[in-house]
Amino acid sequence: MTHAISTQYIALKNKIPLGLLLTLIITAQTLFTPQAMAAEKSSADGSGNSSEAITILTTLPVTYFLSSALVADTNIQVKNLPKRGRRLNGQENYFTSKKAKKLATTFNSASAVVTIGKLWRDDPLFTAARSANIRIVEIDATKPWSSTLEGISVAMTPAQDTPWASSDDESKHGTKSAENTPSVFFWLSLMNSARSAEIIAEDLMRLVPGEATTIKTNLTKLHSKLMELQRRNELAMLNAADITVFSLAPELVYLTSEQNLFVDGSFYKQDIEWTSTDTEALEKHLKENKIGVVLHKWEPAEPILNAIKAAGAKLVVIETIDAGIVKKGSMLPDSYLMLMEENLKNLRAAFIN
């Protein structure tokens, strides 16, 4: 009521037709809303212009693959650092080396980095990029910016579980070392990778609103591709008579959990530390419990391999995919998907004749 009287008063005082005055007021309210002002700023900065190319940086096969798939047919470029990739344990050294100082130009020309910093606290990418470019944006692939939204599913590093492990073994490789430590290798779960794609896509659409429609379309295709791979594997594994495994690598917890494998024991000593007592105990455990499949992240030392064979079990090597496939000096964008498909193929082959 007061607003209506005030409007009429202004119209009478300034001899402005009431209808014209109301039109001017509504137009002004539309033009100066926070959303309209933000859009105007975005346009002025060029960030909302789909014709202007921007660059985002990644360091891992999974973030490189997901980001590349999401920005297909857009003017967003994805660069992985370094070109050949680095395993997790080599990344900090790379980004703090003298060679990395030459990356300042790359960092300054980038608009965002895709990290996993909320899960892996030692992720060095954003710190290195931020030191050169104060305006760079961090997109965390494991957790949305809003604390009210769900991130990926996080598994804790599994404790060692064997009847023959000594208390010294447990302190170095078992319960004490694993306690309250999240496992970083979330991408060995296809469901997690699909959720990660959603998180990255949401931030990319906000960063480059002019490409939002294409990114959303790409997300739908990517999500379907990942879920189809999981569905095919689940259907194939229905033909497995037994899905019991013994694990020699804690990094595989996401894969064993998502593929519904029953882990009947685990032993996480480094190969070089194994004793003859350990190999004999492994062989005995596999035989007594009729475990036909042993999982490892690489082909183990010969004594361990011989113990597995002597027990009549099969070794399945699962690639942890923190390093990708390199061709012509660069990591392939599809490395993650190719290696994940290979992991599941090898797993099926071990269980299904």
Beta-ladder partners of 54: 76
Dist CA 101 CA 190 (whole Å) = 35
pLDDT computed for residue 130 by the predictor? 95
Q: 3-state SS of 11-60?
A: HHHCCCCHHHHHHHHHHHHHHCCHHHHHHHHHHHHCCCCCCCCEEEEECC
Dist CA 283 CA 305 (whole Å) = 10
- Fold match, 49-153+189-229 / 237-351: yes
Cα 47 from chain centroid? 25
The reply to whether omega before 182 is within 30° of 0 (cis) is no
pLDDT computed for residue 98 by the predictor? 76
Dist CA 128 CA 46 (whole Å) = 25
pLDDT computed for residue 12 by the predictor? 45
pLDDT computed for residue 11 by the predictor? 46
pLDDT computed for residue 15 by the predictor? 52
pLDDT computed for residue 87 by the predictor? 95
pTM: 0.83
pLDDT computed for residue 48 by the predictor? 46
**Is 237-351 CATH 3.40.50.1860?**
no
pLDDT computed for residue 2 by the predictor? 46
Beta-ladder partners of 331: 326
Are 233 and 260 a contacting pair, CB within 8 Å?
Answer: no
pLDDT computed for residue 62 by the predictor? 99
Dist CA 49 CA 43 (whole Å) = 7
* Pick from 63, 78, 340: nearest CA to 197: 63
What residue ranges do the domains of the chain occupy? 2-32, 49-153+189-229, 237-351
Beta-ladder partners of 113: 57, 138
**Is 49-153+189-229 CATH 3.40.50.1980?**
yes
Average pLDDT per consecutive 10 residues, the chain (353 residues; last block may be shorter): 47 51 48 43 45 89 99 98 95 85 92 98 96 96 90 94 74 55 97 98 97 98 98 96 96 98 96 95 97 98 98 98 96 98 97 85
* Burial of residue 341, with CB atoms counted within 10 A of its CB: 0-12 exposed, 13-18 middle, 19 or more buried: middle
